[in-house]
Amino acid sequence: MDPVTLGSDQNFSGIGNDFPALLRRRGLLAPVPAQTAPVANPAWIPTQATTILAFKFQGGVLVAGDRRATSGNTVVYDRADKVLEIDRHSIMAIAGVPATAWEMARVLEHSFQFFRRTQLQEMSVDGKVRALSKLLRDNFGFVLQGVGVVVPIFATYDAGADPSARLYFYDAMGAQFEVTDYAATGSGSPAVRGILYYENTWGKKPLAKLNQEEAVTVALRALDTAAESDTATGGVDRNAKIFPVIKIVSRDGITTLPEKRIAALFKRSVA
Protein backbone atom coordinates (compact mmCIF):
# COMPACT_ATOMS: atom_id res chain seq x y z
CA MET A 1 0.00 0.00 0.00
CA ASP A 2 1.51 3.33 -1.03
CA PRO A 3 0.84 6.03 1.63
CA VAL A 4 0.97 8.75 -1.03
CA THR A 5 -1.60 7.09 -3.28
CA LEU A 6 -4.08 6.83 -0.42
CA GLY A 7 -4.63 10.54 -0.26
CA SER A 8 -3.28 12.15 -3.42
CA ASP A 9 -6.68 13.69 -4.16
CA GLN A 10 -7.67 14.58 -0.61
CA ASN A 11 -7.33 17.58 1.63
CA PHE A 12 -5.42 16.41 4.70
CA SER A 13 -6.15 19.48 6.82
CA GLY A 14 -8.89 17.64 8.71
CA ILE A 15 -6.73 14.70 9.84
CA GLY A 16 -3.33 16.29 10.25
CA ASN A 17 -0.62 13.65 9.98
CA ASP A 18 -2.51 10.82 11.68
CA PHE A 19 -2.08 7.93 9.25
CA PRO A 20 -4.27 5.44 11.22
CA ALA A 21 -7.11 8.02 11.12
CA LEU A 22 -6.74 8.21 7.35
CA LEU A 23 -6.93 4.40 7.08
CA ARG A 24 -10.12 4.30 9.18
CA ARG A 25 -11.63 7.09 7.10
CA ARG A 26 -11.02 5.01 3.97
CA GLY A 27 -12.34 1.82 5.57
CA LEU A 28 -8.91 0.16 5.48
CA LEU A 29 -8.50 -0.21 9.25
CA ALA A 30 -10.97 -1.55 11.79
CA PRO A 31 -12.61 1.07 14.02
CA VAL A 32 -11.44 1.46 17.61
CA PRO A 33 -13.18 -1.32 19.58
CA ALA A 34 -15.55 -0.44 22.38
CA GLN A 35 -14.20 -1.04 25.86
CA THR A 36 -16.21 -3.95 27.18
CA ALA A 37 -16.01 -6.21 30.17
CA PRO A 38 -13.45 -9.03 30.03
CA VAL A 39 -14.55 -12.32 28.51
CA ALA A 40 -15.17 -14.86 31.25
CA ASN A 41 -13.43 -18.21 30.75
CA PRO A 42 -12.66 -17.87 27.02
CA ALA A 43 -12.79 -21.12 25.10
CA TRP A 44 -9.42 -20.41 23.51
CA ILE A 45 -6.14 -18.86 24.57
CA PRO A 46 -4.44 -16.42 22.17
CA THR A 47 -0.84 -16.95 21.12
CA GLN A 48 1.62 -15.01 23.26
CA ALA A 49 5.17 -13.88 22.52
CA THR A 50 7.83 -13.38 25.20
CA THR A 51 10.57 -12.33 26.24
CA ILE A 52 12.26 -9.13 24.98
CA LEU A 53 15.00 -6.89 26.34
CA ALA A 54 16.96 -3.81 25.32
CA PHE A 55 19.80 -1.82 26.79
CA LYS A 56 22.19 0.95 25.84
CA PHE A 57 25.86 0.13 25.25
CA GLN A 58 28.83 1.76 23.53
CA GLY A 59 27.48 1.16 20.03
CA GLY A 60 23.89 2.36 20.56
CA VAL A 61 20.93 0.26 21.73
CA LEU A 62 20.91 -3.54 21.61
CA VAL A 63 17.44 -5.10 21.26
CA ALA A 64 16.98 -8.86 21.65
CA GLY A 65 14.06 -11.27 21.76
CA ASP A 66 13.74 -15.01 22.18
CA ARG A 67 11.94 -16.95 19.44
CA ARG A 68 9.21 -18.82 21.32
CA ALA A 69 5.46 -18.21 20.92
CA THR A 70 3.06 -20.03 23.24
CA SER A 71 -0.65 -20.60 23.74
CA GLY A 72 -1.25 -21.35 27.39
CA ASN A 73 1.25 -24.09 28.24
CA THR A 74 1.64 -25.17 24.60
CA VAL A 75 4.59 -24.14 22.44
CA VAL A 76 3.04 -22.94 19.17
CA TYR A 77 6.17 -21.81 17.32
CA ASP A 78 9.88 -21.66 18.11
CA ARG A 79 11.06 -19.28 15.37
CA ALA A 80 8.93 -16.16 15.94
CA ASP A 81 10.50 -12.78 15.14
CA LYS A 82 9.78 -10.35 17.98
CA VAL A 83 12.30 -7.64 17.03
CA LEU A 84 10.85 -5.62 14.13
CA GLU A 85 12.40 -2.81 12.08
CA ILE A 86 9.99 0.12 11.68
CA ASP A 87 12.23 2.53 9.77
CA ARG A 88 15.93 3.13 9.21
CA HIS A 89 16.55 4.10 12.84
CA SER A 90 13.66 2.58 14.81
CA ILE A 91 13.01 -0.86 16.27
CA MET A 92 9.87 -2.17 17.94
CA ALA A 93 10.23 -5.34 20.03
CA ILE A 94 7.03 -7.14 20.99
CA ALA A 95 5.74 -9.11 23.96
CA GLY A 96 2.10 -10.18 23.94
CA VAL A 97 -0.23 -11.26 21.14
CA PRO A 98 1.84 -11.46 17.92
CA ALA A 99 -1.07 -10.88 15.50
CA THR A 100 -1.96 -7.59 17.18
CA ALA A 101 1.66 -6.53 17.59
CA TRP A 102 2.61 -7.26 13.98
CA GLU A 103 -0.40 -5.28 12.75
CA MET A 104 0.65 -2.37 14.98
CA ALA A 105 4.15 -2.57 13.51
CA ARG A 106 2.79 -2.46 9.94
CA VAL A 107 0.57 0.55 10.71
CA LEU A 108 3.46 2.28 12.49
CA GLU A 109 5.79 1.66 9.55
CA HIS A 110 3.29 3.14 7.09
CA SER A 111 2.63 6.07 9.47
CA PHE A 112 6.33 6.99 9.43
CA GLN A 113 6.47 6.62 5.63
CA PHE A 114 3.32 8.71 5.23
CA PHE A 115 4.78 11.50 7.36
CA ARG A 116 8.14 11.39 5.56
CA ARG A 117 6.56 11.57 2.09
CA THR A 118 3.98 14.25 2.90
CA GLN A 119 6.16 16.45 5.14
CA LEU A 120 9.47 15.77 3.33
CA GLN A 121 11.23 15.11 6.62
CA GLU A 122 11.54 12.40 9.25
CA MET A 123 9.02 12.31 12.08
CA SER A 124 10.52 13.49 15.37
CA VAL A 125 11.35 10.95 18.05
CA ASP A 126 8.58 12.34 20.25
CA GLY A 127 6.14 11.94 17.39
CA LYS A 128 7.19 8.32 16.83
CA VAL A 129 6.85 7.51 20.52
CA ARG A 130 3.37 9.05 20.71
CA ALA A 131 2.27 7.27 17.51
CA LEU A 132 2.93 3.88 19.12
CA SER A 133 1.28 5.05 22.33
CA LYS A 134 -1.88 5.95 20.40
CA LEU A 135 -2.02 2.52 18.74
CA LEU A 136 -1.81 0.89 22.16
CA ARG A 137 -4.61 3.10 23.52
CA ASP A 138 -6.77 2.27 20.50
CA ASN A 139 -6.19 -1.43 21.23
CA PHE A 140 -7.22 -1.18 24.87
CA GLY A 141 -10.73 -2.46 24.15
CA PHE A 142 -9.24 -5.78 23.07
CA VAL A 143 -6.98 -5.77 26.13
CA LEU A 144 -10.04 -5.57 28.37
CA GLN A 145 -11.46 -8.57 26.53
CA GLY A 146 -8.25 -10.48 27.21
CA VAL A 147 -7.45 -11.12 23.55
CA GLY A 148 -5.04 -8.42 22.42
CA VAL A 149 -2.46 -7.52 25.07
CA VAL A 150 0.75 -6.03 23.65
CA VAL A 151 3.58 -4.60 25.78
CA PRO A 152 6.35 -3.37 23.45
CA ILE A 153 9.79 -1.82 23.69
CA PHE A 154 10.73 0.96 21.28
CA ALA A 155 14.35 1.87 20.47
CA THR A 156 15.46 4.61 18.11
CA TYR A 157 18.29 7.00 17.35
CA ASP A 158 17.66 10.73 17.69
CA ALA A 159 19.76 12.57 15.12
CA GLY A 160 18.59 16.00 16.33
CA ALA A 161 20.55 18.78 18.01
CA ASP A 162 21.85 16.36 20.67
CA PRO A 163 22.34 13.03 18.83
CA SER A 164 21.75 10.04 21.08
CA ALA A 165 20.17 6.60 21.31
CA ARG A 166 16.69 6.59 22.91
CA LEU A 167 14.91 3.69 24.60
CA TYR A 168 11.27 3.43 25.75
CA PHE A 169 8.98 0.81 27.25
CA TYR A 170 5.17 0.90 27.40
CA ASP A 171 2.31 -0.51 29.38
CA ALA A 172 -0.77 -2.06 27.75
CA MET A 173 -2.71 1.25 28.01
CA GLY A 174 -0.13 3.19 26.00
CA ALA A 175 1.81 5.02 28.71
CA GLN A 176 5.43 5.39 27.63
CA PHE A 177 8.51 5.58 29.84
CA GLU A 178 11.97 6.57 28.65
CA VAL A 179 14.76 4.62 30.31
CA THR A 180 18.41 5.54 30.68
CA ASP A 181 19.92 2.06 30.87
CA TYR A 182 17.75 -0.98 30.09
CA ALA A 183 14.23 -2.35 29.68
CA ALA A 184 12.61 -5.80 29.54
CA THR A 185 9.04 -7.05 29.16
CA GLY A 186 7.30 -10.39 28.83
CA SER A 187 6.87 -13.32 31.17
CA GLY A 188 10.61 -13.85 31.53
CA SER A 189 11.35 -10.19 32.21
CA PRO A 190 11.72 -10.41 36.04
CA ALA A 191 14.78 -12.66 35.65
CA VAL A 192 16.12 -10.52 32.80
CA ARG A 193 15.75 -7.27 34.75
CA GLY A 194 17.56 -8.83 37.71
CA ILE A 195 20.50 -9.84 35.51
CA LEU A 196 20.69 -6.47 33.77
CA TYR A 197 20.54 -4.64 37.12
CA TYR A 198 23.33 -6.82 38.50
CA GLU A 199 25.53 -6.35 35.42
CA ASN A 200 24.90 -2.60 35.34
CA THR A 201 25.55 -2.12 39.06
CA TRP A 202 28.14 -4.71 40.06
CA GLY A 203 29.49 -6.08 36.78
CA LYS A 204 33.01 -5.43 35.55
CA LYS A 205 31.69 -2.30 33.82
CA PRO A 206 28.28 -0.60 33.37
CA LEU A 207 26.12 -1.65 30.42
CA ALA A 208 26.71 1.69 28.68
CA LYS A 209 30.48 0.96 28.52
CA LEU A 210 30.24 -2.56 27.05
CA ASN A 211 31.53 -3.20 23.55
CA GLN A 212 29.36 -5.09 21.06
CA GLU A 213 30.67 -8.56 21.88
CA GLU A 214 30.25 -8.00 25.63
CA ALA A 215 26.74 -6.62 25.13
CA VAL A 216 25.63 -9.60 23.03
CA THR A 217 27.06 -11.96 25.67
CA VAL A 218 25.02 -10.26 28.42
CA ALA A 219 21.84 -10.46 26.32
CA LEU A 220 22.36 -14.18 25.59
CA ARG A 221 23.03 -14.96 29.26
CA ALA A 222 19.94 -13.03 30.33
CA LEU A 223 17.58 -14.79 27.91
CA ASP A 224 19.10 -18.21 28.61
CA THR A 225 18.68 -17.65 32.37
CA ALA A 226 15.07 -16.51 31.92
CA ALA A 227 14.33 -19.69 29.96
CA GLU A 228 15.42 -21.78 32.95
CA SER A 229 12.60 -20.43 35.13
CA ASP A 230 9.98 -19.39 32.55
CA THR A 231 8.55 -22.04 30.21
CA ALA A 232 7.22 -19.36 27.82
CA THR A 233 10.74 -18.08 27.14
CA GLY A 234 12.69 -20.01 24.53
CA GLY A 235 16.15 -18.70 25.35
CA VAL A 236 18.67 -20.67 23.31
CA ASP A 237 17.62 -24.06 21.93
CA ARG A 238 20.91 -25.95 21.92
CA ASN A 239 19.51 -29.03 20.17
CA ALA A 240 17.67 -27.23 17.34
CA LYS A 241 20.33 -24.48 17.23
CA ILE A 242 17.76 -21.69 17.55
CA PHE A 243 19.17 -18.41 18.83
CA PRO A 244 17.55 -15.09 19.81
CA VAL A 245 17.08 -12.31 17.28
CA ILE A 246 19.47 -9.46 18.10
CA LYS A 247 19.48 -6.06 16.41
CA ILE A 248 21.44 -2.90 17.14
CA VAL A 249 20.25 0.63 16.38
CA SER A 250 22.87 3.38 16.18
CA ARG A 251 23.80 6.55 14.28
CA ASP A 252 24.51 4.38 11.21
CA GLY A 253 21.08 2.73 11.25
CA ILE A 254 20.03 -0.80 12.18
CA THR A 255 22.34 -3.81 12.19
CA THR A 256 21.02 -7.38 12.43
CA LEU A 257 23.55 -9.75 13.95
CA PRO A 258 24.04 -12.89 11.83
CA GLU A 259 22.97 -16.13 13.50
CA LYS A 260 26.43 -17.63 12.95
CA ARG A 261 28.06 -14.86 14.93
CA ILE A 262 25.51 -15.18 17.75
CA ALA A 263 26.09 -18.94 17.83
CA ALA A 264 29.87 -18.46 18.02
CA LEU A 265 29.57 -15.94 20.88
CA PHE A 266 27.17 -18.23 22.72
CA LYS A 267 29.53 -21.18 22.42
CA ARG A 268 32.56 -19.16 23.51
CA SER A 269 31.12 -16.94 26.26
CA VAL A 270 27.91 -18.56 27.55
CA ALA A 271 27.75 -22.32 26.99
In a domain, 26, yes or no: no
116 or 3: which carries more pLDDT confidence?
116
Q: Could you list the residue range(s) of the whole structural domain that residue 233 is in?
A: 45-270
Q: Quick one: pLDDT at residue 32?
A: 64
80 or 23: which carries more pLDDT confidence?
80
In a domain, 243, yes or no: yes
Mean pLDDT across the chain: 88
Model confidence pLDDT, tens digit, residues 241-269: 999 999 999 999 999 999 999 999 999 99
DSSP per position, the chain: --HHHHTTTS-GGGTTT-HHHHHHHTT-SPPPPP--PPPSS-SS---EE--EEEEEETTEEEEEE---EEETTEEEES----EEEEETTEEEE--B-HHHHHHHHHHHHHHHHHHHHHHSSPPPHHHHHHHHHHHHHHTHHHHHTTS--B--EEEEEE-SSS-EEEEEEE-TT--EEE-SSEEEESTTHHHHHHHHHHHHHHSSS-GGG--HHHHHHHHHHHHHHHHHH-TT----BTTTTB--EEEEEETTEEEEPPHHHHHHHIIIII-
Residue 4 has pLDDT above 70, yes or no: no
Q: Quick one: pLDDT at residue 147?
A: 81
Can you give the CATH number for the domain in which 123 is found?
A: 3.60.20.10
In a domain, 16, yes or no: no
| Integer Cα distance of 77 and 99 in angstroms | 13
In a domain, 3, yes or no: no
pLDDT band at 24 (very low <50, low <70, confident <90, very high): confident
Q: Quick one: pLDDT at residue 40?
A: 45
Share of the chain above pLDDT 90, in %: 72
Number of domains in the chain: 1
Q: Quick one: pLDDT at residue 20?
A: 76
| Integer Cα distance of 104 and 10 in angstroms | 24
Q: Quick one: pLDDT at residue 153?
A: 98
Model confidence pLDDT, tens digit, residues 42-71: 445 778 878 999 999 999 999 999 999 998
Model confidence pLDDT, tens digit, residues 127-180: 999 999 999 999 998 888 878 899 999 999 998 878 899 999 999 999 999 999
In a domain, 236, yes or no: yes
Active site residue ranges: 50
Residue 110 has pLDDT above 90, yes or no: yes
In a domain, 29, yes or no: no
In a domain, 221, yes or no: yes
In a domain, 129, yes or no: yes
